[in-house]
Amino acid sequence: MSVETILVFGEGDESGPSGLTLELLAAARDLATNVEVFVAGDGAAMATELGSHGASTVYSTGPIDGKLMGVHAAATLKVHLESQAADAIFFGQTPDGRDTAARLAVQLDQPVVTNNVGASVEDGALVVEEPVFGGTQNVFTAFRNDGPALALFRPKSFEAEATGGAAAEVVTVDTVDPGVAGAATVTGRHVEERSGPQLDDAEVVVSGGRGLGQPEAYEMVDELAGLLGAASGASRAIVDAGWVPYAKQVGQTGKVVKPNVYLACGISGATQHLVGMKGSKNIIAINKDPEAPIFGVADLGIVGDVHKVIPALIEALKSR
Amino acid sequence: MKVVVCVKQIPDPALPGELDPTTNYLKRDDKLILDESDSYGVEMALQLVESAGGGEVSLVSMAANNEVSGLRTALAMGAEDAVLVSDDALAGSDALGTARVLAAAISRMSPDLVLAGVESSDGYTGTVPEMIAGVLDMPSITFAKQIEVDGNTVKVQRQTEAGYDDVECQTPALVSVTAGVVEPRYPSFKGIMAAKKKPVEELDLAALGVDGSTVGQGGARQETVRVTDAEERQAGEVIEDEGDAHEKIVEFLGELKIV
């Protein structure tokens, strides 16, 4: 087996392909001679940008309205692969990416490897890298299957970079009906209003955790974030406790962030959280417990009470 | 209404994890416990059956070493019974192998609804529930933050990157539940005592009719070629706040030209 064609499962919206899709293109380009994209949606609208990031062809189903995407995308992909083979399929680790990869794995009877942050080709086989134990060790897994290697990658694992290629050729693909398994219907969509910098691409992120003590204290985090032009985030503990919405969660099961500065307020630094923010360029942590694991990754660690340090910091910033 | 909940028994996440140096599998020598991620599925199932005015909650789990302590916890919460698939041939199973085994067990139970956690706390592939639905050729709704059953229709609020979607489908269906959406009940003393007598059916692959070559390490068709230590991020300066720590932070931010 060798890796000549990699198919990227492309996601995005009316504004274009997602950042993660472009990251996957960068990774695929490094490994394969031919990189293609499959979009369960309006791929034609993304062709220019996908092409400039190295995709030769975009296979597009057109909009899949009113249905949960994964099972439909997988049924269509399976038939598509019968005529357009790929040596590997790269998925972003998103809800639809996971659903599609999982359904496709069953249909093709091929393994999926998830949570990857790196990829290489060794002796003709795709090898993927997955961090374990909170990123303290990396496991390298080689695909030994006879068929496409299905791999899911975490966001921010690769650097997206335009290569200046021409628009990708758009090929329309007929959707395949998955039958009774495709019965789930989307009856409404709710977008939680978010203003200000977004977690994904903010220069500065201020996050709060259980050490804040009570939900009202999160207002300090928001105020501090506002003063710094930062996005506000949270640990899983306070998301699970219902203090803030899931969209703010930073960590293994939430967002992966790599800002210039990450300021952790009252966050102990559970593995689940560290995985999502360890890649930040600079980390400041405020926590009462001098033994908190967060201090192991902080460039500046403050052993102190968030209820004293943050208000003082807010005052200092206001008076500047 | 019959609800089957997939539960995983995992090494205590509070203890440091370790890979077996010969097999590179996660070490599971110590007692296994109920994965917290699955306790939300169990609680959700119990609540759905209660609000439906009747029914039963059954558990299904797979473990290589006949482990039942995590199942007993879920039984103590209120589940009626459990099926445990245990077989030496299961060691090294990947997500697809695991899904095949659980699906085979579930298909014998004829549930109206199958619940699972979105992802386990040890392997966190987040693909097993959707694969189970795939093997069973059943509709599925993943990443549920709220579930309602209305006759033969299951209505779900499904978490998305932007917010949430309302999604519904007919039963039988599989739904995966995100962590934190319900408050898992603590088993009562009575529940714990009752759980000791609740039936746990143990099955091996032969009893399930699953071909051993499709599961375990061989079925996984992937190989751990090496394990490396990650580059450690160096800890920087740690200071005790004596009322002036905020100045230190402002100075640090100033050096980075953030302020």
* Tens-place pLDDT, residues A265-279: 999 998 889 989 998
A243-252, B72-81, B120-129, range with greatest mean pLDDT: B72-81
Please tell me which of the candidates B140, B233, B259 has its beta carbon nearest to residue A297. B233
- Give me the residue from B141, B223, B241 closest to A142, CB to CB: B223
Residue A296: closest C-alpha in chain B: B235
Percent of chain A with pLDDT over 70: 99
> Distance, in angstroms, between B108 CA and closest chain A CA?
19
| Rounded Cα gap, residues A292 and A303, in angstroms | 9
B85-114 pLDDT, tens digit each? 999 999 899 999 999 999 999 999 999 999
Average pLDDT of span A125-133: 93
Question: Among the listed ranges A53-67, A89-103, A239-253, which one has the minimum average pLDDT value?
Answer: A239-253
Q: Which of B118, B225, B252 to mutate to test the interface with A (most CBs of A within 10 A)?
A: B225
Output helix, strand, coil percentages for chain A, rounded to the nearest 5.
35, 30, 35
CB contact under 8 A, B138 and A180: yes
* Chain B residues inside the 8 Å CB shell of A286: 241, 245
Size of interface A-B (CB pairs under 8 A): 261
Quick one: pLDDT band at residue B24, thresholds 50, 70, 90? confident
Q: Say what the ipTM of the complex is.
A: 0.92
Reported as a pLDDT band with limits 50, 70 and 90, residue B16 is confident
Per-residue pLDDT band at B30 (split at 50, 70, 90) = confident
**A133: nearest CB among B17, B159, B228:** B17
Position B232 pLDDT exceeds 90: no
**pLDDT level of residue A1 (50, 70, 90 thresholds):** low
Within 8 A of B142 by CB-CB distance, chain A residues are 68, 70, 95, 98-99
pLDDT score at A316: 95
Distance of residue B50 Cα from the nearest chain A Cα, in angstroms? 23
Task: List pLDDT tens digits, range B145-184.
Answer: 999 999 999 999 998 877 899 999 999 999 999 988 888 9
d(CA A282, CA B251) in angstroms, rounded, equals: 13
pLDDT of A311 above 70: yes
Looking at residues B205-213, what average pLDDT do you find?
A: 95
Supply the pLDDT for residue A116.
96
The whole-number average pLDDT for the span A283-290 is: 96
Residue B117: the pLDDT is: 95
Chain segment B124-146, per-residue pLDDT in tens: 889 999 999 999 999 999 999 99
| Spatial CB neighbours of B108, under 8 Å, sequence gap ≥ 6 | B83, B208
User: Do residues B158 and B142 touch, judged by C-beta distance below 8 A?
Assistant: yes
Describe the strand order of the beta sheet including A112-116 as a list of residue ranges: A112-116, A149-153, A88-92, A5-10, A34-39, A57-60, A169-172
* Residue-averaged pLDDT of chain B: 93
Would the CB atoms of A180 and B127 count as touching at under 8 Å? no
Q: Is pLDDT at A263 greater than 70 in this prediction?
A: yes
Average pLDDT over residues B29-51: 92
Confidence (pTM): 0.90
Q: Which of A105, A137, A303 sits opposite B238 (nearest CB)?
A: A303
For residues B176 and B233, which has the higher predicted lDDT (pLDDT)? B176
At B15, the pLDDT band (50, 70, 90 cuts) reads: confident
CB nearest to B168's CB, from A98, A187, A242: A187
Helix (H) or strand (E) holding A57: strand A57-60
Contact assignment for B250 to A113 by CB distance below 8 Å: no
C-alpha dist (Å) from residue B229 to A18, A134, B16, B67, B233: 31, 11, 15, 31, 12
The CA-atom distances, in angstroms, between A255 and each of A24, A204, A249, B60, B161 are: 17, 14, 6, 31, 10
B111 CB-near residues (< 8 Å, 6+ apart): B2, B3, B4, B58, B172
Q: In what order do the strands lie in the sheet with A231-234?
A: A231-234, A204-208, A261-265, A282-287, A300-303, B237-240
Say whether B145 and A253 touch across the interface (CB within 8 A): no
- Residues A33-43 have pLDDT tens digits of 999 999 999 99
Question: ∠ at Cα B136 (B130, B142), nearest 5°?
Answer: 25
Q: Do B246 and A312 touch (CB under 8 A)?
A: yes
Which B residues 126-165 touch A at CB under 8 Å? 126-131, 133-135, 137-143, 145, 158-165
Q: What percent of chain B has pLDDT over 90?
A: 77
When scoring A9, A18, A72, A99 by the number of chain B Cβ atoms within 10 A, the one with the most, hence best to mutate, is: A99
- A90: helix, strand or coil: strand
